[in-house]
């Protein structure tokens, strides 16, 4: 019997078993190490993700607070709180730095001029679970975001037609006489004795301007009645003619804006002998020729506001138009594409032949039609983007200019077939005449329908939005009147305007740059 051979084999088996134990131990260490690395990597990536989301939120908040004029220390404390809210279950030491164009002009974008840029940088020490065994107890992670509260170029397009004085205290109503209008215009700035709802509109507009950050934002003003913006000659007299220049061009000087708002007055009643020489009322109360005699030219208001943006708007700002009217769009005249060679001649005004009498013998096509003249009262015909058709009325031209101001430039996904300015448009309907005009028109709500159309284009730059993207699409003519939707707001009287203007101000958005 060879005992030595058996002993040698036994020793060999022992050595193999020993090697396997060593390999198994090493493998277990490796597996544990990989598990540890995976756990620590998960901890690390979770904190990085939370930190980045927190920094993004903090940057957006910081940009908003710049608009509100808060101090750097307030912005920094708020940023840290927002970041910690995105780091669940941790109360770790967090180093947060917030810089603006004022504190660090080297931030990308600051060199181009005043901008509401905020850069938030956060450093966080993440405590690991397994790597401390190898001497790595904490790892520093960093996140950065730059946000911009968009600089705004805002055009206020405000109705100053005579009807904006119909709610003045003490007048006989429902209209207003020349002497009553003279008195309430003379009390401009006084909410009790001034023209109403005009004074409520003035106060609401001034409140919005006061809330803006005018070191970066700018405001322009366009009044519209028979004409829009500045006019040559005496307002309301025979020598009055359109210029198509904003009453106030875009400026960031608050005193100048307030002075322009303070200077607003309600447009005077039209004097038939001077403004409308052919305005001879027949026995039935209808005029022989109402062209050039109407006083709510929303189309021109949008045209002048758009021209101001196109001429003086900044490319890196958000273009916003806020349009307010208390009536239907019943006045419009031809405007050349270059805004030159303007004329106030009656032949240049849009007024369907069915809705005015050209001589003393023809009967009106629409019996019982008692105004507003020059409008067909049908918001569903006469205009299909981008062309007028048939015998268009002022409302049709209003929709055309709404498309020009609100449509995005070509190449952006929408149904616009012509270049637009891409401005955000908010429209405000004021009073019963917008929602329920009973003067013999087929669609008493046509004033609001047009205002909703303007808001729809201004909501997403698309005149043909469907119900999936247009909050104003589902409009029940009988029960949906006077309802806010999308970028459209309604107030039955002037008392609700401050709330509406404040709401619009809050919606002028921010954007995350990177």
pLDDT at 511 over 60: no
| Tens digit of each residue's pLDDT (9 = 90 or more) over 81-119 | 778 777 765 555 678 888 888 888 888 777 766 677 888
pLDDT at 495 over 90: yes
And the tokens for 122?
Answer: 């956060």
pLDDT at 359 over 50: no
pLDDT of residue 102: 80
Domain ranges for the chain: 26-149, 152-512
Residues whose CB falls within 8 Å of the CB of residue 143, separated by 6 or more in sequence, listed in order: 48, 51, 52, 54, 55, 121, 122
pLDDT at 488 over 90: yes
Residues in the chain: 514
Percent pLDDT > 70 in the chain is: 77
CB 247 within 8 A of CB 238: no
| Separation CA 350–CA 391 (nearest Å) | 8
Q: Is 152-512 CATH 3.40.50.410?
A: yes
* Averaged pLDDT for residues 207-217: 88
| 147 closest CA partner among 113, 103, 106, 98 | 98
Residues whose CB falls within 8 Å of the CB of residue 239, separated by 6 or more in sequence, listed in order: 232, 233
pLDDT of residue 175: 79
CB 309 within 8 A of CB 319: yes
pLDDT at 402 over 60: yes
pLDDT at 406 over 80: yes
CB 155 within 8 A of CB 308: yes
pLDDT at 14 over 60: no
| Tens digit of each residue's pLDDT (9 = 90 or more) over 184-205 | 999 999 999 999 999 999 999 9
* Pairing label, strands 248-251, 318-325: unpaired
pTM: 0.78
- What is the CA angle 256-150-78, rounded to 5? 105
| Tens digit of each residue's pLDDT (9 = 90 or more) over 255-313 | 999 999 999 999 987 765 567 766 776 666 667 778 888 889 999 999 999 999 999 99
| Separation CA 202–CA 262 (nearest Å) | 8
pLDDT of residue 366: 44
pLDDT at 18 over 80: no
| Separation CA 352–CA 365 (nearest Å) | 11
pLDDT of residue 368: 42
pLDDT of residue 504: 93
């Amino acid at each position: 019997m060879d005992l030595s051979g058996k002993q040698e084999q036994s020793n060999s088996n022992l050595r193999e078993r020993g090697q396997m134990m060593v390999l198994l131990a090493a493998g277990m260490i490796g597996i544990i190490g990989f598990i540890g690395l995976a756990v620590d990597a998960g901890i690390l990536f979770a904190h990085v993700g939370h930190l980045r989301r927190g920094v993004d939120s903090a940057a957006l908040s910081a940009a908003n607070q710049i608009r509100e004029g808060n101090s750097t220390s307030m912005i920094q404390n708020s940023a840290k709180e927002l970041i910690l809210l995105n780091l669940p279950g941790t109360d770790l030491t967090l180093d947060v730095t917030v810089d603006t164009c004022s504190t660090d002009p080297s931030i990308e974008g600051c060199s181009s001029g005043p901008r509401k840029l905020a850069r938030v940088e956060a450093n966080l020490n993440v405590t690991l679970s397994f790597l401390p065994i190898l001497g790595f107890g904490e790892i520093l992670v960093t996140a950065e975001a730059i946000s911009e509260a968009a600089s705004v170029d805002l055009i206020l397009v405000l109705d100053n037609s005579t009807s904006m004085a119909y709610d003045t205290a003490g007048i006989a109503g429902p209209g207003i006489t020349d002497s009553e209008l003279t008195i309430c215009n003379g009390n401009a700035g006084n909410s009790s004795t001034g023209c109403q709802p005009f004074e409520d509109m003035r106060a609401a507009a001034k409140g919005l301007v006061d809330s803006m950050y005018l070191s970066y934002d700018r405001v322009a003003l366009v009044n519209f009645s028979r004409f829009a913006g500045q006019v040559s000659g005496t307002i309301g007299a025979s020598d009055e003619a359109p210029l198509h220049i904003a009453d106030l061009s875009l400026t960031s000087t608050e005193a100048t804006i307030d002075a322009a708002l303070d200077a607003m007055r309600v447009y005077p009643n039209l004097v038939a002998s001077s403004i409308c020489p052919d305005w001879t009322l027949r026995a039935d109360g209808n005029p022989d020729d109402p062209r050039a005699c109407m006083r709510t030219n929303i189309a021109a208001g949008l045209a002048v506001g758009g021209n101001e943006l196109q001429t003086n708007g900044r490319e890196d700002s958000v273009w916003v138009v806020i349009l307010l009217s208390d009536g239907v769009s019943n006045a419009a005249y031809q405007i050349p594409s270059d805004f030159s060679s303007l004329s106030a001649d009656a032949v240049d005004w849009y007024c369907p032949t069915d809705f005015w009498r050209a001589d003393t013998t023809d009967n009106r096509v629409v019996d019982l039609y008692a105004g507003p003249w020059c409008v067909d009262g049908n918001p569903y015909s006469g205009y299909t983007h981008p062309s007028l058709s048939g015998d268009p009325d002022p409302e049709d031209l209003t929709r055309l200019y709404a498309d020009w101001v609100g449509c995005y430039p070509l190449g952006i996904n929408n149904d616009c077939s012509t270049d637009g300015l891409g401005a955000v448009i908010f429209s405000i309907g004021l009073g019963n005449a917008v929602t329920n005009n009973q003067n013999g028109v087929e669609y008493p709500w046509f004033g609001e329908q047009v205002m909703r159309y303007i808001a729809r284009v201004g909501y997403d730059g698309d005149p043909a939005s469907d119900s999936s993207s247009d909050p104003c699409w589902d409009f029940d003519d009988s029960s949906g009147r006077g309802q806010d939707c999308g970028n459209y707001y309604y107030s039955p009287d002037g008392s609700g305007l401050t709330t509406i203007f404040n709401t619009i101000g809050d919606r002028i958005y921010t954007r995350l740059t990177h």
